């Protein structure tokens, strides 16, 4: 489960930033995860809860916003949204699609106490 490694990285990132801000604990963590990132939000939430035990983020609420997959259709010559890799263009049904976004993951922001 690669979500465990991602959760460990998230906890490390938020702890570093919380320390720099002089905070005692992290109360909320907001993530943006692309629909094409191959990350399962429920598995990431479970992993975050497990790996945050004993950290500044223990008990923090994890909010995950999914961002859509984005691509360029070479047949339609326009940007499109796709929900998974290998999806055809929703406008023309063609498969000449180049992914341009939606694979990223980032810590958007956090609240500290």
Q: What is the pLDDT of residue 1?
A: 56
The pTM of this model reads: 0.84
Report pLDDT for 30. Answer: 98
108: left (phi over 0), alpha (psi -120 to 50) or beta: alpha
Helix, coil or strand: residue 70: strand
Query: What domains appear along the chain, each with residue ranges and CATH number?
Result: 2-68+102-112 (3.30.2320.50)
Percent of the chain with pLDDT over 70: 99
Residue 113's pLDDT is 85
Low-confidence ranges of the chain (pLDDT < 50): none
């Amino acid at each position: 489960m690669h979500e465990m490694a991602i959760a460990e990285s998230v906890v490390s990132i938020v702890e570093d930033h919380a320390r720099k801000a002089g905070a005692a604990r992290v109360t909320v963590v907001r993530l943006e995860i692309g629909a094409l990132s191959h990350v399962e939000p429920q598995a990431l939430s479970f992993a975050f809860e497990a790996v945050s035990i004993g950290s500044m983020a223990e008990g923090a609420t994890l909010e995950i916003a999914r961002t859509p997959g984005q691509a360029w259709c070479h047949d339609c010559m326009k940007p499109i949204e796709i929900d998974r890799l290998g999806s055809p263009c929703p406008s023309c049904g063609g498969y000449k699609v180049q992914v341009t976004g939606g694979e990223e993951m980032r810590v958007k922001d956090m609240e500290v106490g």
